[in-house]
């Protein structure tokens, strides 16, 4: 945890002034029964005479709230999980966190008895559809990367859907380690650099969209899709496991891994899956359902512990527990179990690297731990004490260092994942 202690101040992003919140344990780690004390200061002009604050357990259950003119807030941490402090005055706000005994956190709901049978059936359904790869080499001209070949790829998915992505590989050479890169939430195209940069480093790369859309249309096209057919796509079919939008999404990841493993230029040794947020969600699921995945790199994964509110803790995006408008809430919540990352992670057999933001309110840390604690294979979990969901002011740097400087170089060489004991 030494690297995590180097930078703990978390600043509200305001133009000329900001709150500075400092916990008394730089890494945010406490023991059960400890008192957590955050020191609160104002940096800049026009300091407010007082501020509003709230302390929530596991991002949801409010323990304290009020208005203060003091210089600190203290709260005991009495249950396994996290605390989240919010300090604000007008539009200016800042967050800080704390955690204790996270290894004791378990999922909010039991995995359905037929969970494995359901996914075995869906994978058989996918297997009944020939992949029918359509690979088109693209000459990129000025945008080309030296000594890298670039392609667009389409694969067939279930029920008439398709997997759309970009593939890149070194021009020279016969066999390469492979990496499947899956994407965060939203409706957008693929930046060519996401594939080209990794291929330039010696990887066979497949980067896929989560949607059945072309990968390289203009921004207006994706805005139209996001405001139209794919508006709130995370709610589509969320009350029926056979109609969930995430069914073909998860299977597209399986098909992508399957395609890489079928290629003659794969080295038959290294097949990595990686992504952040929704991509982190897809990465963990892919590692769970595809047997040839050899390592998984997941940053602030979504989709974890979707029934967390039943235990007083915030669920991660897409927060299906709350996506019940106009639907049978019981059906939505039952369906969520079949797509909850926490129900996939016990199946993972490869090494896993996970980064978790302690003040992330999009994919809250306690729910991620509920999922990650089910992993029995070697794992390295990096708690990022000042990080929300985005890499603000280098708050996710500790994960980046381990991912880009340690794990990927070792995996590329066919070495064992350099799992650090944390």
Q: What is the mean pLDDT of residues 317-327?
A: 97
- 405-417 pLDDT, tens digit per residue, is 999 999 999 999 9
Q: pTM of the entire structure?
A: 0.94
Convert the pLDDT of each residue in 356-402 to its tens digit: 999 999 999 999 999 999 999 999 999 999 999 999 889 999 999 99
Contact 257, 286 (CB under 8 A): yes
DSSP assignment, residue 309? G
Provide the residue count of the chain: 422
Neighbours of 125 (CB within 10 A): 13
**SS3 state at 176:** strand
> Please, are residues 353 and 296 in contact by the beta-carbon 8 Å criterion?
yes
Nearest Cα to 250, choosing from 283, 225, 272? Answer: 283
Q: What is residue 289's DSSP assignment?
A: H
**CA nearest 72: which of 1, 2, 19?**
19
Domain residue extents for the chain: 2-104, 115-412
pLDDT reading at 206 higher than 50: yes
Q: DSSP 3-state assignment of 149?
A: strand
Instruction: Among 141-150, 153-162, 272-281, name the one with the lowest average pLDDT.
Output: 141-150
Yes or no: domain 115-412 corresponds to CATH 3.40.50.1820: yes
**The dihedral sign for the CA sequence 105, 344, 250, 407:** positive
Which parts of 6-142 are beta strand (E)? 10-11, 18-23, 29-30, 35-43, 51-57, 61-68, 72-76, 81-89, 92-100, 134-137
Reported as half-sphere exposure (CB side, CA atoms, 13 A), residue 234 has a value of: 21
What percentage of the chain reaches a pLDDT higher than 70?
96
Radius of gyration of the chain (CA): 22
CA-CA distance, 42 to 17, in Å (whole number)?
7
Task: Classify strands 379-384 and 148-156 as parallel, antiparallel or unpaired.
Answer: unpaired
**In sequence order, what are the residues at sequence separation of 6 or more whose Cβ sits closer than 8 angstroms to the Cβ of residue 171?**
147, 148, 149
The model's pLDDT over 62-73, given as tens digits with 9 standing for 90+, comes to 999 999 888 899
Was domain 2-104 assigned CATH 3.55.50.30?
no
What letters, b where the CB count within 10 A reaches 16 and e where it falls short, cover 145-156? Answer: beebbbbbbbbb
pLDDT greater than 70 at residue 346: yes
Question: What gap in Å lies between CA 4 and CA 26, rounded to an integer?
Answer: 8
Helix, strand or coil, per DSSP, at residue 152: strand
| Beta carbons within 8 Å of 281's beta carbon, 6+ residues apart | 275, 298, 301, 302, 303, 304, 341
Give the E-state strand segments of 258-409 in sequence order: 266-276, 295-299, 352-357, 379-384
């Amino acid at each position: 945890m030494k690297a995590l202690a180097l930078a703990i101040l978390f600043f509200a992003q305001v133009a000329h002034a900001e709150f500075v919140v400092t916990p008394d344990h730089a890494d945010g780690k406490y023991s059960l029964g400890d008192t957590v004390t955050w020191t609160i200061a104002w940096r800049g002009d026009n300091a407010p005479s007082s501020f509003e604050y709230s302390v929530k357990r596991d991002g949801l259950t409010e323990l304290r709230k009020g208005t203060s003119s003091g210089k600190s807030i203290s709260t005991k941490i009495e249950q396994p999980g996290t605390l989240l402090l919010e300090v604000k005055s007008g539009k200016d706000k800042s967050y800080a966190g704390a955690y204790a005994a996270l290894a004791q956190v378990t999922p909010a709901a039991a995995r359905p008895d037929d969970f494995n049978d359901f996914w075995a059936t869906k994978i058989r359904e996918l297997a009944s559809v020939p992949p029918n790869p359509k690979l088109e080499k693209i000459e990129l001209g000025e945008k080309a990367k030296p000594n890298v070949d670039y392609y667009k790829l389409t694969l067939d998915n279930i029920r008439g859907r398709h997997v759309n992505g970009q593939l890149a590989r070194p021009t020279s050479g016969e066999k390469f380690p492979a990496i499947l890169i899956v994407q965060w939430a939203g409706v957008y195209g693929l930046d060519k650099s996401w594939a080209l940069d990794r291929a330039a480093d010696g990887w066979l790369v497949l980067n896929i969209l989560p949607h059945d859309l072309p990968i390289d249309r203009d921004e207006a096209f994706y805005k139209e899709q996001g405001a139209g057919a794919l508006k709130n796509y995370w709610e589509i079919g969320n009350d029926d496991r056979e109609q969930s939008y995430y069914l073909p999404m998860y299977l597209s990841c399986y098909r992508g891994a399957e395609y890489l493993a079928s290629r003659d230029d794969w080295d038959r040794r290294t097949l990595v899956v990686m992504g952040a947020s929704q991509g982190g969600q897809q990465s963990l699921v892919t590692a769970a359902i595809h047997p040839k995945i050899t390592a998984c790199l997941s940053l602030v994964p979504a989709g974890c512990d979707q029934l967390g509110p039943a235990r007083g803790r915030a669920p991660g995006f897409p927060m299906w527990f709350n996506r019940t408008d106009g639907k049978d809430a019981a059906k939505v919540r039952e369906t969520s179990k079949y797509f909850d990352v926490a129900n996939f992670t016990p199946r993972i057999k490869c090494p896993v690297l996970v980064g978790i933001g302690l003040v992330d309110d999009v994919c809250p840390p306690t729910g991620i731990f509920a999922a990650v604690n089910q992993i029995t294979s070697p794992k390295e979990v990096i708690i990022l004490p000042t990080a929300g969901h985005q890499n603000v002011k280098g708050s996710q740097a500790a994960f980046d260092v381990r991912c880009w400087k340690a794990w990927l170089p070792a995996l590329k060489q066919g070495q064992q994942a350099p799992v650090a004991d944390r």
